[in-house]
Amino acid sequence: MTPLIETRALSRHFGGLKAVEAVDFTLQPGEIRAIIGPNGAGKTTFVSLICGRIAPSSGSIALDGNDITRLPAHKRVLAGIAYTFQITSIFPKLTVYDNVALSVQRRLLKAGRVVAGELDAGVAQALARVGLADRAQTLAGNLAYGHQRLLEVAMGLALEPRLLILDEPTQGLSDGEIEGFIALVREIAKEATVLLIEHNMPVVMQLAQKITVMNFGRVLAEGSAEEIRANAAVQEAYLGTGRDG
């Protein structure tokens, strides 16, 4: 099977800082994969390279076997890669509905059509999936932080992506909302591949079919939840002093 995403020797340096260093990574279609690691391990930089927000210093990225290393971020969105940010990137002065409508419109324009009924249906479906249907006319900036995170997930879902990248998606969610989120990701995985960065280890252990552990910009370990739990190098990395970034 051709991997959905494959990186080879992917690196990103900021001056003398090797934020990501020679990472080989393979993600299969339909997989739920988690990337974990201490603060500053390079997780967000790595997924930012995949979605095109930053350019690599060296190495390559392929989507379905096609090189996308130099493809601009907006074209990667059109190719089916959606990314929700570690810090919310909603439009606070627009309503919840209008935030999601922007994503639906982009998807419909790609398909060569924008029909009012399809726009409304797409927004309604995305908001219902994340539990925000009753807040459609609320200004996004007035939502609680956890609900802003869910809105951002809805914006990603509205694109109907092949790959949905979620960066710290449960941050700010209540216990009940986290349970709902776990169920949501399992539903999403029936239609798309999910790659998430997450510090909430119970969430990771419940969701991820495979876990990639990063430390100092490199892949430290990969495996199932049970294999990662038992890995001494992973335990040592998490017991070390956290680093910002």
Q: Distance between the two ends of the chain, CA-based, in angstroms? A: 34
Please give the order of strands across the beta sheet that includes 218-223: 81-84, 163-167, 193-197, 32-36, 210-215, 218-223
Residue 242 has pLDDT above 50, yes or no: no
Least confident of 29-33, 129-133, 134-138, 235-239: 235-239
Question: By CB neighbour count within 10 A (0-12 exposed, 13-18 middle, 19+ buried), where does 137 fall?
Answer: exposed
Closest Cα partner for 207 from 234, 188, 220, 235? Answer: 188
Kindly report the backbone phi and psi dihedral angles of residue 124, in degrees, each rounded to the nearest multiple of 5, phi listed first.
Answer: -60, -40
pLDDT digits (tens, 9 = 90+) for 177-217: 999 999 999 999 999 999 999 999 999 999 999 999 999 99
List, in sequence order, every residue forming a beta bridge with 18; answer none if it has no partner: 13
Q: Evaluate whether 217 touches 41 at the Cβ level (below 8 Å).
A: yes
Task: Tell me the CATH number for domain 1-80+162-245.
Answer: 3.40.50.300
pLDDT digits (tens, 9 = 90+) for 75-113: 999 899 999 864 457 999 999 999 999 999 988 888 777
Q: Is 219 helix (H, G, I), strand (E, B) or coil?
A: strand
The model scores a pTM over 0.85:
yes
DSSP string, 46-96: HHHHHHTSS--SEEEEEETTEE-TT--HHHHHHHTEEEE-SS----TTSBH
Question: What residue ranges do the domains of the chain occupy?
Answer: 1-80+162-245, 87-160
List, in sequence order, every residue forming a beta bridge with 212; answer none if it has no partner: 35, 222
Q: How confident is the model at residue 149 (pLDDT cuts 50, 70, 90)?
A: confident
